[in-house]
Every structure is written in C-alpha cells, then in structure tokens.
C-alpha cells in the first residue's frame, strides 16, 4: 500500500462582489499528492481544487463562473477580476 503526502498550493486569487457590491477575495487551492518512497521517485498527482473566501469560508464554483457559499448555499459571489492565477502545477 502506497503512502502519500498531501500538500495544498495556492493556485489563484479572484476579486469578487456579492449582490450588495461588497468586495471580497476568493482563494483557489489545489491539492498535490506526493508519493513517499525512499528508493524511487514518482510523479506528483494532482488532487481536487477547492475555493475559500479570505476569511476561510468554503465555497463551490458553478459552471457559469460564479461562487456559492457552501454554508447556506444562498450567498452568490460574482467574479470581477482574476487578481493572480499561478501557473504552478503539481
């Protein structure tokens, strides 16, 4: 059975506003899975991508590009601008 180390990398930041034009920042995280081995090197596997507000509130992204608050599902956040999008891959 293989052992993996999970590391979260910040891969993007987005400026968003809610329905009342209050600004906030969404941070995109990508999980990278590193297989641990003393004798061999294995390629890094890319895990799931997750989104959080700057205060730590978890979000989910819709197909249309806006974000939902996962705690209540009612609050929508609309992307204004991609502040930073990292090209760093796992």
Q: What's the mean per-residue pLDDT of the chain? A: 88
Q: Where are the domains of the chain?
A: 4-85
Q: Please write the tens of the pLDDT for every residue from 49-80.
A: 999 999 999 999 987 778 988 777 778 999 98
What is the reported pTM?
0.79
Between the CA of residue 16 and those of 30, 52, 64, 65, what are the distances in Å? Answer: 19, 12, 14, 11
* Distance, CA of 16 to CA of 46 (rounded, Å): 26
CA–CA gap between residue 44 and residue 88 (Å, rounded) = 12
pLDDT, position 56: 92
Q: What mean pLDDT is predicted for residues 22-50? A: 93
């Amino acid at each position: 059975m293989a052992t993996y180390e999970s590391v979260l990398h910040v891969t993007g930041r987005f400026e968003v506003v809610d329905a009342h034009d209050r600004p906030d920042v969404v941070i995109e995280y990508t999980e990278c899975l590193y297989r641990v081995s003393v004798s061999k090197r294995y390629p890094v596997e890319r895990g799931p991508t997750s989104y959080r507000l700057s205060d730590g509130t978890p979000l989910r992204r819709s197909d249309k590009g806006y974000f939902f608050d996962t705690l209540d599902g009612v609050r929508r956040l609309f992307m204004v601008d991609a502040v930073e999008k990292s090209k760093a891959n796992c």
